[in-house]
């Protein structure tokens, strides 16, 4: 124990010497330089300052002024005539100087990390005169460091990653700690690193703080480590200070594990009524890797019944979904299927595992099954009601062999047929007609007698076979013409026949004439053998005037069993086909013009000529008096008055004030009535058969209009005004009972 204390004391002395060594060298150098100068120049050296090395150890408790050192001049005679004065950094507050002795004391605890040294100035004066005895001198009081600061980690927190199975020595991360102590003062700031927790998986370099892999790790065993690192100053010597930090190291996954099935054999089941695509079951293989390294792809190996099922991979759950690929049947011999499933790593197929799956077929009560997918039946259209059409058959696929009942679903054709519920025989219940519907589609159901919910359906197509029950008929014919100048054997028209029965190309229709018409016939008919016949002329020329129309009887027969025939009459019109002897012009002119002869044409021409002569006379008359029509037109335009309001007669005058209907904008002064002239000379106009003279008639209307506009007792505007005027010049005199004299006018006015 005493040896340890001696060693500690010696180390402290060495530390202090190392700190003061620069000052000692400086003083020695100054003394040597002064001596050399004195030797060289033989000049008397002036007296100066004398002081000790000045330093204060940090963190010392100071209860009273603590002595640091002394400054004095060699001219001090110890008679108190010299006054020492201290200036500079911390003078008076931190450091004080005895003005008589020059001793310096510190007043409080210092912290090197806060301030490592203080620069001060000292002055020596004559106490009585105040004159400086020595020049002002600058000196330094150094704060000696002690190990009072522990290391501190920077850049926390520390999180690192490393791949699993990484080899030893792989770099992981680096930690760094700093110490505020003086790095030049011994080992106070020299830090070393060590791992307190995390070995042997990790190691650390003692000086740099670099963490490396200490041994290989398996992520599937442990995927995260918390490594505790210690930083210690003074190179770990006694009295050193330390601190710790936690480094979180995540182990990254490497694709080094194959998928594994929890068990090697699985059992599943599927009902026999399942259809292709139904899910049989699911299975899951586990890969202890993570992320993409754990992706699995499933497949069925080509062993056993591999083609009966499919398997797919659910990318979300990583499950293998087994589905039915082909239909299964419990009643067959195969009631169990074996397949082998392979689960391989998607990104590394060489990593895989296999499992065997046994799939059992489960029996279910199935509906009846028809022996055929669809049925085709035939029946002739002339079959009697109740005739047998055909049969359908269904069987129970289960082992129970249940009783089956048949029925027909309701449709528009279901009313024509019925089915025997016990044996599936189909019969007709109404008459059939191929020309109305030649195909009938019905749906037959088969139901288990004990379980009506088990129903099957099948389509039955019934074809109605044709029977020759329709005679051929001529198709619609246009107007047929024959030219008057036609020659014997000339083609008039080609007719076509059609039959509603099913066409039989090998059995064409036949066209004939009645025997009584074949003798001395005007036309003959030639059968073309292709369901058409050609009408030919049988005489030389035809006369419209003698016989404008001819009738041709045609007998059309089919070759069915039994054969049917029909008789049709064709009308042939005689036409003057013109120079080119073409019947096309006959259809354009119409049948009416066939009766027109040359006399009629001449009469029409004379009539048209008379109309033209009359039009010419009117034209000449208008040219002689061109203003006649225009004047009449103007007069008519001026005297047309439109009334939109309908009056109510005499009673209407009490309904509203009629004065508002008067035309006030044309009121003029009342003028005396003029005597109407009756001696108008118009003999010339009478000779032409025209009406009264326009000028006189216009004057008459003007006077009447003026009287109506100025008369306060005029009739309402909606009252009908009658103006009568008879032209003069008639030799027989007037036949009218009206005379427009003043007396008559007065009577009319007073009457109204």
Please provide the DSSP assignment of 361-393 as one string: EEP--PPPEESSSEEEEEEETTPPTT-EEEE--
- Whether 370 has a pLDDT exceeding 80, the answer reads yes
- Whether 172 has a pLDDT exceeding 70, the answer reads yes
Say what the pLDDT of residue 350 is.
94
Say what the pLDDT of residue 418 is.
92
Q: Of how many residues is the chain composed?
A: 752
Say what the pLDDT of residue 676 is.
44
CA–CA separation, 27 and 49 (whole Å): 12
The larger pLDDT score, comparing residue 133 to residue 266, is at: 266
The larger pLDDT score, comparing residue 630 to residue 59, is at: 59
Mean pLDDT of 626-651: 48
Say what the pLDDT of residue 682 is.
45
The sheet carrying 425-428 orders its strands as 388-391, 425-428, 417-419
629: Cα separation from own chain's centroid:
76
Least confident of 170-174, 439-443, 640-644, 700-704: 640-644
- As given in the structure block, the two tokens for residue 182 are 């003086």
CA–CA separation, 307 and 326 (whole Å): 8
- As given in the structure block, the two tokens for residue 572 are 């042939």
The overall average pLDDT reported for the chain is 78
Say what the pLDDT of residue 388 is.
94
- As given in the structure block, the two tokens for residue 393 are 């058959």
Mean pLDDT of 455-461: 93
pLDDT confidence tier of residue 693, bands split at 50, 70 and 90: low
- Whether 31 has a pLDDT exceeding 70, the answer reads no
Least confident of 361-365, 574-578, 656-660: 656-660
CA–CA separation, 446 and 425 (whole Å): 12
Cβ-Cβ contacts under 8 Å for 687 (sequence gap 6 or more): none
710: enclosing H helix or E strand? helix 694-710
Q: Is the pTM of this model over 0.85?
A: no
pLDDT confidence tier of residue 715, bands split at 50, 70 and 90: low
Say what the pLDDT of residue 153 is.
95
Mean pLDDT of 503-509: 68
On whether the CB atoms of residues 372 and 362 are closer than 8 A, the answer is: no
Say what the pLDDT of residue 243 is.
94
pLDDT confidence tier of residue 506, bands split at 50, 70 and 90: low
User: Cβ of 382: how many Cβ atoms within 10 Å?
Assistant: 16
CA–CA separation, 122 and 23 (whole Å): 18
- Whether 685 has a pLDDT exceeding 80, the answer reads no
On whether the CB atoms of residues 202 and 249 are closer than 8 A, the answer is: yes
Say what the pLDDT of residue 588 is.
58
Superfamily of domain 369-465: Cadherins (2.60.40.60)
User: What are the b/e assignments for 265-284, b being 16+ CB within 10 Å?
Assistant: ebebebebbbeeeeebbebe
Say what the pLDDT of residue 680 is.
43
- As given in the structure block, the two tokens for residue 103 are 């001793």
C-alpha pair distances (Å), 415 with each of 113, 380, 433, 457: 115, 18, 14, 18
User: Cβ of 531: how many Cβ atoms within 10 Å?
Assistant: 21
Per-residue model confidence as pLDDT tens digits over 519-578: 768 888 888 888 888 988 888 888 888 888 888 888 888 777 777 888 888 888 988 887
CA nearest neighbour of 424 among 385, 464, 372: 372
User: Cβ of 331: how many Cβ atoms within 10 Å?
Assistant: 12
- Whether 749 has a pLDDT exceeding 80, the answer reads no
Domain 265-362, CATH among 3.30.450.80, 2.40.50.100, 2.60.40.60, 2.40.30.20? 2.60.40.60
On whether the CB atoms of residues 309 and 324 are closer than 8 A, the answer is: yes
CATH domain 46-144 topology: Immunoglobulin-like (2.60.40)
The larger pLDDT score, comparing residue 717 to residue 410, is at: 410
Return the SS3 of 526. strand
298: enclosing H helix or E strand? strand 296-300
55: Cα separation from own chain's centroid:
86
Say what the pLDDT of residue 718 is.
53
Say what the pLDDT of residue 162 is.
95
CATH number 2.60.40.60 given to 152-252 = yes
- Whether 580 has a pLDDT exceeding 80, the answer reads no
Say what the pLDDT of residue 626 is.
60
Per-residue model confidence as pLDDT tens digits over 173-209: 999 999 988 888 778 889 999 999 999 999 999 999 9
- As given in the structure block, the two tokens for residue 597 are 């002869």
Return the SS3 of 177. strand
C-alpha pair distances (Å), 666 with each of 271, 407, 647: 110, 98, 22
C-alpha pair distances (Å), 541 with each of 482, 545, 572, 573, 597: 9, 12, 14, 13, 19
540: Cα separation from own chain's centroid:
81
- Whether 687 has a pLDDT exceeding 70, the answer reads no
Which of 160-174, 322-336, 445-459, 682-696 has the highest mean predicted lDDT (pLDDT)?
Answer: 160-174
CA–CA separation, 486 and 550 (whole Å): 14
Q: What is the CA radius of gyration of the chain?
A: 71
Say what the pLDDT of residue 493 is.
87
Least confident of 49-63, 406-420, 677-691: 677-691
C-alpha pair distances (Å), 342 with each of 532, 611, 631, 749: 77, 112, 116, 127
CA–CA separation, 491 and 261 (whole Å): 95
13: enclosing H helix or E strand? helix 2-41
On whether the CB atoms of residues 402 and 436 are closer than 8 A, the answer is: no
Residue with tokens 């599937």: 220
- Whether 731 has a pLDDT exceeding 60, the answer reads no
Least confident of 67-71, 505-509, 640-644: 640-644
Superfamily of domain 473-595: Cadherins (2.60.40.60)
pLDDT confidence tier of residue 477, bands split at 50, 70 and 90: confident
Say what the pLDDT of residue 312 is.
95
pLDDT confidence tier of residue 660, bands split at 50, 70 and 90: very low
Say what the pLDDT of residue 347 is.
92
Pairing between strand 352-362 and 309-313? unpaired
- Whether 286 has a pLDDT exceeding 70, the answer reads yes
- Whether 166 has a pLDDT exceeding 90, the answer reads yes
CA–CA separation, 137 and 104 (whole Å): 14
């Amino acid at each position: 124990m005493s040896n340890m204390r001696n060693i500690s004391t010696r180390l402290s002395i060495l530390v202090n010497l190392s700190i003061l060594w620069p000052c000692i060298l400086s003083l020695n150098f100054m003394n040597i330089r002064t001596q050399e100068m004195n030797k060289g120049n033989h000049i008397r050296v002036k007296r100066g300052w004398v002081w000790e090395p000045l330093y204060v150890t940090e963190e010392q408790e100071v209860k009273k002024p603590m002595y640091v050192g002394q400054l004095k001049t060699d001219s001090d005679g110890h008679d108190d005539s010299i006054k020492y004065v201290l200036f500079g950094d911390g003078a008076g507050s931190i450091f004080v100087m005895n003005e008589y002795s020059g001793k310096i004391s510190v007043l409080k605890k210092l912290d090197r990390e806060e301030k490592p040294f203080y620069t001060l100035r000292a002055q020596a004066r004559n106490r009585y005169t105040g004159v400086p005895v020595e020049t002002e001198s600058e000196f330094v009081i150094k704060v000696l460091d002690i190990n009072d600061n522990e290391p501190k980690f920077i850049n926390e927190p520390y999180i690192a990653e490393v791949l699993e199975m990484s080899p030893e020595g792989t770099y992981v991360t680096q930690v760094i700690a700093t110490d505020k102590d003086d790095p030049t003062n011994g080992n106070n700031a020299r830090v070393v690193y060590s791992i307190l927790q995390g070995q042997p998986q990790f190691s650390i370099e003692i000086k740099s703080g670099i963490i490396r892999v200490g041994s290989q790790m398996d992520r599937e065993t442990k995927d995260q480590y918390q490594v505790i690192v210690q930083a210690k100053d003074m190179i770990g010597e006694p009295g050193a200070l330390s601190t710790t930090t936690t480094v979180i190291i995540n182990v990254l996954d490497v694709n080094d594990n194959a998928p594994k099935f929890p068990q090697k054999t699985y059992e599943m089941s599927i009902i026999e009524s399942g259809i292709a695509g139904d899910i049989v079951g699911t299975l899951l293989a586990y890969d202890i890797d993570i992320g993409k390294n754990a992706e699995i792809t499933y497949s069925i190996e080509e062993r056993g019944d591999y083609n009966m099922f499919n398997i797919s991979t659910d990318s979300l759950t990583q499950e293998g979904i087994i589905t039915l690929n082909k239909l299964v049947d419990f009643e067959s011999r195969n009631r169990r299927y074996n397949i082998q499933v392979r689960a391989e790593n998607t990104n590394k197929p060489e990593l895989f595992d296999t499992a065997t799956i046994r799939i059992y077929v489960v029996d279910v009560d199935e509906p009846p099954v028809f022996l055929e997918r669809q049925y085709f039946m035939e029946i002739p259209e002339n079959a009697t009601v109740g005739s047998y059409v055909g049969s359908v058959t269904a069987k129970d696929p289960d082992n129970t062999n249940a009783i089956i009942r048949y029925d027909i679903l309701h449709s528009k054709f279901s009313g024509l047929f019925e089915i025997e519920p016990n044996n599936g025989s189909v019969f007709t219940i109404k008459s059939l007609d191929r020309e109305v519907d030649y195909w009938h589609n019905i749906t037959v159901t088969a139901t288990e007698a004990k379980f009506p919910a088990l129903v099957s359906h099948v389509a039955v197509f019934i074809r109605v076979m044709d029977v020759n029950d329709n005679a051929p008929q001529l198709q619609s014919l246009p107007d047929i013409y024959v030219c008057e100048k036609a020659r014997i054997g000339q083609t008039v028209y080609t007719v076509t026949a059609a039959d509603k029965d099913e066409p039989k190309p090998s059995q064409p229709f036949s066209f004939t004439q009645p025997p009584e018409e074949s003798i001395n016939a005007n036309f003959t008919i030639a059968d073309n053998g292709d369901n058409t016949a050609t009408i030919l002329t049988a005489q030389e020329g035809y006369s419209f005037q003698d016989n404008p129309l001819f009738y041709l009887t045609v007998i059309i027969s089919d070759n069915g069993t039994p054969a049917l025939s029909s008789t049709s009459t064709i009308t042939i019109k005689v036409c003057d086909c013109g120079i080119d002897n073409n019947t096309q012009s006959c259809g354009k002119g119409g049948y009416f013009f066939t009766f027109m002869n040359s006399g009629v044409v001449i009469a029409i021409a004379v009539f048209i000529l008379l109309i033209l002569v009359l039009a010419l006379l009117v034209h000449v008359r208008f040219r002689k008096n061109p203003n006649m029509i225009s004047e009449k037109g103007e007069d008519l335009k001026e005297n047309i008055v439109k009334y939109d309001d309908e009056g109510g007669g005499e009673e209407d005058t009490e309904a509203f004030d009629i004065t508002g209907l008067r035309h006030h904008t044309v009121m003029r002064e009342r003028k005396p009535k003029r005597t109407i002239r009756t001696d108008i000379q118009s003999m010339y106009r009478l000779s032409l058969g025209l009406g009264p003279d326009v000028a006189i008639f216009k004057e008459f209307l003007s006077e009447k209009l003026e009287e109506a506009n100025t008369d306060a007792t005029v009739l309402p505007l909606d009252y009908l005004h009658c103006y009568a005027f008879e032209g003069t010049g008639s030799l027989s005199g007037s036949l009218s009972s009206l005379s427009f004299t003043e007396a008559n006018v007065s009577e009319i006015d007073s009457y109204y």
